[in-house]
Amino acid sequence: MSKKIPKFLHFYRINGDRSASSMEGQKTVELEREQSTWQHIDLNDAASTEWLEASADLDPIVFNALTATESRPRSFSHKEGVMIVLRGVNLNPGNDAEDMISIRLWVESKRIITTRLRPILSVEDIVKDFSEIQGPKNVGEFLTSLVDKLADRIGDFVNAIEDELGLAEDSLEDFEASELRSTLGSLRRQIAKVRRYLAPQRDALDRLNHISTNVYSDRDRQRLREESDRISRYLEDLDLARERCVVLQEAFLSQMAQQQNTRMYVLSIITAIFLPLSFLTGLLGMNIGGLPGLENPRAFLMVTIGMVSGTIGLAVFFRWKKWI
């Protein structure tokens, strides 16, 4: 297989002073053994996969992990490096945030390779930090910085979920039934999708603290531990948000049932009041001889007065019984 150098999305030499130098077009295999480098690769580019396999000097296990199309967050050490797969919320235009994007990292003491299938904004944040001379000094700081930026956007997503839930709770009585059902259904789907990856991501970050390696320092381990704790808090927030969705749905169903019961109650009262009147009008409406008042010109007035009096009497009775 011929060796090809792909068009890297990003290829930098990490200078150690929080800046980085672009190394596009360099002979990477010789360079990356002498100084710290970062190569960011698009797996949609066929030349990238070929370069990773033929020229990046990677073990097949690492190569397969870097090029896997479907992957859950995980981390493991292999020989002289550490393999990490992480997920971040999808903030690309026209996409759903909960459709989380994966990024794969192979980290050695002097080299870091990252691969992706879809753009992820946290990577661009690091590029911006390098341009402003505020980037990571080495591969260990690069790893912790990327994890921190991924967690920041996850936190923004979780906060947005909580804000939307708070709005739904405050406006429960103003929501249309179909609108509230749609809102709660959407929130629960978003929570489920994000939580699916956050739990293994927390475990992957926690495992990094227990890997024996010189790729990152004790200070980096401390930061990774803090990020793991932060992901745990986000998981707890999502669990609470899920419970709030259930409580809100139950409150909505209770409110709907109460409204239906009130309507049925009113209809029952009206039926109870008019039932004797219906019986009386039905009785007097029979087309048979012998009905009282047929020859009396005041019979209609008397019947009307009697029906009104009966209605008022029933209403007073219901009120006395505290039925209305």
Where do the domains of the chain lie? 10-255, 266-320
What is the arithmetic mean of pLDDT over 20-46? 76
Q: Count other Cβ atoms within 10 Å, centred on residue 248.
A: 19
Q: Quick one: what percent of the chain has pLDDT higher than 90?
A: 47
Instruction: Please write the tens of the pLDDT for every residue from 91-142.
Output: 888 888 888 999 999 999 999 999 999 999 999 999 999 999 999 999 999 9
**CA distance linking residue 323 with residue 183, whole number of Å:** 38
What's the order of all strands across the beta sheet hosting 37-42?
20-22, 10-14, 37-42, 111-116, 101-107, 81-88, 74-78
Confidence at residue 314, expressed as pLDDT on a 0 to 100 scale? 80
Q: Cβ(224)–Cβ(144) under 8 Å?
A: yes
Tens digit of each residue's pLDDT (9 = 90 or more) over 172-221: 777 676 777 888 888 999 999 999 999 999 999 999 988 989 899 999 99
Distance CA 141, CA 15 (A): 13
Of 139, 137, 141, the closest CA to residue 149 belongs to 141
Which is it for the CA torsion 187, 193, 199, 205, positive or negative?
Answer: negative
pLDDT, the chain, mean: 86
How high is the pLDDT of residue 271? Answer: 83
Q: CA–CA separation, 65 vs 105, rounded Å?
A: 9
Highest mean pLDDT among 237-241, 293-297, 301-305, 315-319: 237-241
pLDDT at 257: 80
Q: Is the pLDDT of residue 25 over 80?
A: no
pLDDT value of residue 47: 87
What pLDDT does 155 receive?
94
* pLDDT value, residue 91: 85
- Nearest 5°: the CA angle 278, 281, 287 is 135
| Distance between CA atoms of residues 237 and 157, nearest Å | 11
Q: What pLDDT shows up at residue 316? A: 84
pLDDT level of residue 26 (50, 70, 90 thresholds): low
pLDDT tens-digit readout, 132-174: 999 999 999 999 999 999 999 999 999 999 999 888 888 777 7
Q: Is the pLDDT of residue 224 over 90?
A: yes
CATH number of 10-255: 3.30.460.20
% helix, strand, coil for the chain, step of 5: 60, 10, 30
- Is 61 or 250 the better-scoring residue by pLDDT? 61
Looking at residue 55, its pLDDT comes to: 85
Distance CA 43, CA 116 (A): 6
Angle at 28 between CA 23 and CA 34, to 5 degrees: 90
% of the chain at pLDDT higher than 70: 93
Confidence check: pLDDT of 3 > 80? no
What CA–CA distance (Å, rounded) separates 86 from 105?
Answer: 8
> Which CATH architecture fits 266-320?
Up-down Bundle (1.20)
